[in-house]
Structure 1
Amino acid sequence: MRIPFIKQSTINYRRMARQQGMPFIDWLHGYLYGRFAYQYIGMAGDKKPWWRYLMAPLVLLLDRHSPFQPTDQSRTGDPGQEKPTFADTYHGKALPLAEATKLIRLDRAVNTSVSEQVLPYTRAREIVLNNPEKIVLLDCPCRAGMKNPCTPIDVCLLVGEPFCSFMLEHHPDKTREIDTDEAVRILKAENARGHVAHAFFKDVMLGRFYAICNCCSCCCGAMKAQRMGVQMLCSSGYLAEVDQETCVGCGLCAEKCQFKAIGFRGGMAFIRAKRCMGCGVCVEACSKDALSLRLAPEKGEPLRVDAL
Structure 2
Amino acid sequence: MKFPFAKQSTINYFRSAKAHGLPFLERLHGYIYGRWAYHYIGLAGDKAPWWRYLWAPLIFIINRMTPFLPDKGSKVGDPSQKKPTWSDTYHGKAMPLAEATKLVKLNRPVNTQVSEHVLPYTRAREIVLRNPEKIVLLDCPCRAGMKNPCLPLDVCILIGDPFGSFMLEHHPDKTREISVDEAVSILKAENARGHVSHAFFKDVMLGRFYAICNCCSCCCGAMKAQEMGIQMLCSSGYLAEVDTEKCVSCGICGKRCQFLAISFDDGKAVIDEEICMGCGLCIESCAKDALSLRLAPEKGEPLLVDAL
* 1:189 partner letter: A
Partner residue, 2:27:
27
Q: Which is worse superposed, 110-119 or 41-50? A: 41-50
Partner residue, 2:279:
279
Distance 1:83 1:42 in 2: 28
Partner residue, 2:151:
151
Distance 1:51 1:106, change over 3 A: same
Partner residue, 1:240:
240
Distance 1:31 1:293, change over 3 A: same
Distance 2:51 2:86 in 1: 22
Q: Which is worse superposed, 46-55 or 222-231? A: 46-55
Distance 1:21 1:259 in 2: 37
* 1:296 partner letter: A
Distance 1:193 1:161, change over 3 A: same
Q: Secondary structure at the match of 2:161?
A: coil
CA contact (8 A) 1:137 1:177 kept: yes
Partner residue, 1:291:
291
Q: Secondary structure at the match of 1:245?
A: coil
Distance 1:21 1:65 in 2: 17
Q: Secondary structure at the match of 2:122?
A: coil
* 1:240 partner letter: A
Partner residue, 1:76:
none
CA contact (8 A) 1:84 1:230 kept: no
Deviations 1:15-71 (Å, cap 9, x if unpaired)? 11111121111111000000000000001000131233211111122235478x7x9
1:171-210 equivalence runs, <5 A: 171-210=171-210
CA contact (8 A) 1:278 1:293 kept: yes
Deviations 1:275-296 (Å, cap 9, x if unpaired)? 1000001111112211110000
Q: Secondary structure at the match of 2:137?
A: strand
* 1:13 partner letter: Y
TM-score, with structure 1 as normaliser: 0.92
Distance 2:258 2:307 in 1: 28
Q: CA RMSD in A?
A: 2.1
Distance 1:160 1:268, change over 3 A: same
Q: Which is worse superposed, 231-240 or 40-49? A: 40-49
Deviations 1:251-290 (Å, cap 9, x if unpaired)? 1111110000001112111111111000001111112211
Unpaired runs of 5+ residues, structure 2, are: 72-78
Offset at residue 106 of structure 1 (A): 1.1
Partner residue, 1:75:
none
Partner residue, 2:74:
none
Deviations 1:175-217 (Å, cap 9, x if unpaired)? 0000110000100111111100000000001010000000000
Distance 1:20 1:49, change over 3 A: same
CA contact (8 A) 2:131 2:161 kept: no
Partner residue, 2:252:
252
CA contact (8 A) 1:238 1:278 kept: yes
Distance 2:232 2:21 in 1: 25
The number of residues matched between the two structures is: 299
Q: Secondary structure at the match of 2:183?
A: helix
* 2:177 partner letter: E
Distance 1:51 1:184 in 2: 38
Partner residue, 1:141:
141
* 2:226 partner letter: Q
Deviations 1:77-103 (Å, cap 9, x if unpaired)? xx9xx9981101110000000000000
Q: Which is worse superposed, 261-270 or 119-128? A: 261-270
Percent identity of paired positions between Structure 1 and Structure 2: 76
Distance 1:170 1:2 in 2: 19
CA contact (8 A) 2:25 2:66 kept: no
Partner residue, 2:42:
42
1:5-20 equivalence runs, <5 A: 5-20=5-20
TM-score, with structure 2 as normaliser: 0.92
* 1:181 partner letter: D
Offset at residue 161 of structure 1 (A): 0.3
Distance 1:83 1:149 in 2: 36
Partner residue, 1:126:
126
Q: Which is worse superposed, 127-136 or 257-266? A: 127-136
CA contact (8 A) 2:132 2:159 kept: no
* 2:49 partner letter: P
CA contact (8 A) 1:14 1:27 kept: yes
Indicate whether 1:90 and 2:75 are aligned.
Answer: no
Distance 1:223 1:214 in 2: 11
Unpaired runs of 5+ residues, structure 1, are: 73-78
